């Protein structure tokens, strides 16, 4: 799959891109400038096993080439980034990794539209399908390809088939994806990012995560079908 990561120069986007490239996906690192995107892509290629494909370009060019796009910019840059790439995202699936944070960052803050994902869907309209995922995944170990990440990926979206794309990408990155309902649930899940930051600070760690209990492999297989 050809995946464009808009804002892929950040820790979360770059880490996911590295894992997906190692799993065989074609990755395009998007940035505000083509030069910065190319530089970030080169750094990721240096860490990849033989055969991984990572390119860099500006966000608009990346969105145009993508089959699936991932939005991994800070919340403050979301509206401007989406305005730039909106036309290129028409007819495509966008996975939002964005999580708004309060001040201090360990306090939950809800944006005017309820969540970053709800605001993004309202801005893009029906032309683009949107799911939200990966908000509570720490970037600390994403670039360590042999590190097992224990946190589940909670995936919200209106259509099960769109959520399933994110679930499968979670698995490709070495994590378990869990269907977590419609976009209306995203205020809770995005807010958990601040909770994870608070836990990290209290226990002096960097990789707090969450696991959903009661889901065995058979239930996952049935759900996927």
Beta bridge partners of 217: none
Predicted local confidence at residue 217, as pLDDT: 64
pLDDT higher than 60, residue 225: no
Nearest to 29 by CA among 1, 66, 76: 66
Q: What is the mean pLDDT of residues 197-214?
A: 95
Query: Angle CA(10)–CA(180)–CA(79) in degrees, nearest 5?
Result: 40
pLDDT higher than 80, residue 138: yes
Kindly indicate the confidence band of residue 219, based on its pLDDT and cuts at 50, 70 and 90: low
Q: Are 37 and 27 in contact (CB under 8 A)?
A: no
Question: How far is it, in rounded angstroms, from Cα 144 to Cα 69?
Answer: 23
In tens, the pLDDT along 61-105 reads: 999 999 999 999 999 999 999 999 999 999 999 999 999 998 999
Structural domains present in the chain: 2-224 (3.40.50.720)
- The alpha carbon of residue 99 and the mean position of all alpha carbons in its chain are separated, in whole angstroms, by 10
Q: Are 147 and 204 in contact (CB under 8 A)?
A: no
Residue located via tokens 């401007």: 80
pLDDT higher than 60, residue 224: no
Nearest-Å Rg of the Cα atoms of the chain is 16
Query: Angle CA(17)–CA(99)–CA(112) in degrees, nearest 5?
Result: 145
Sheet holding 26-31, edge to edge: 53-58, 26-31, 2-6, 68-71, 93-96, 129-132, 153-157, 177-179
Helix (H) or strand (E) holding 178: strand 177-179
Count H helices and E strands in the chain, helices first: 8, 8
- As a whole-number percent, the residues of the chain with pLDDT over 90 amount to 92
pLDDT higher than 80, residue 194: yes
CA atoms within 13 A on the CB side of 174: 20
3-state helix, strand, coil in the chain (%, to 5): 45, 15, 40
Q: Return the structure tokens found at 201.
A: 């600070």
The mean pLDDT of the chain is 94
Q: Are 150 and 173 in contact (CB under 8 A)?
A: no
Gap between the terminal Cα atoms of the chain: 20
Predicted local confidence at residue 216, as pLDDT: 80
In tens, the pLDDT along 15-29 reads: 999 999 999 999 999
pLDDT higher than 90, residue 3: yes
């Amino acid at each position: 799959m050809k995946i464009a990561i808009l804002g892929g120069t950040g820790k979360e986007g770059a880490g996911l891109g590295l894992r997906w490239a190692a799993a065989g996906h074609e990755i395009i690192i998007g940035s505000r400038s083509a030069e910065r995107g190319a530089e970030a892509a080169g750094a990721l290629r240096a860490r990849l096993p033989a055969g991984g494909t990572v390119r860099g370009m500006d966000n608009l060019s990346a969105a145009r080439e993508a089959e699936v796009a991932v939005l991994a910019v800070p919340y403050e840059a979301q509206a401007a980034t989406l305005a730039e790439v909106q036309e290129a995202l028409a007819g495509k699936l966008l996975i939002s990794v964005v999580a708004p944070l309060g001040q201090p960052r360990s306090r939950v803050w809800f944006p005017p539209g309820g969540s970053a994902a709800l605001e993004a869907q309202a801005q893009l309209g029906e032309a683009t399908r949107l799911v939200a995922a990966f908000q509570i995944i720490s970037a600390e170990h994403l670039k360590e390809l042999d590190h097992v990440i224990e946190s589940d990926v909670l995936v919200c979206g209106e259509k099960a088939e769109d959520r399933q794309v994110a679930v499968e990408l979670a698995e490709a990155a070495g994590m378990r994806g869990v269907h977590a309902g419609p976009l209306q649930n995203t205020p809770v899940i995005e807010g958990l990012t601040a909770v994870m930051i608070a836990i990290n600070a209290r226990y002096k760690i960097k990789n707090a995560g969450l696991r959903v209990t009661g889901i065995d492999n058979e239930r996952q297989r049935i759900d996927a079908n």
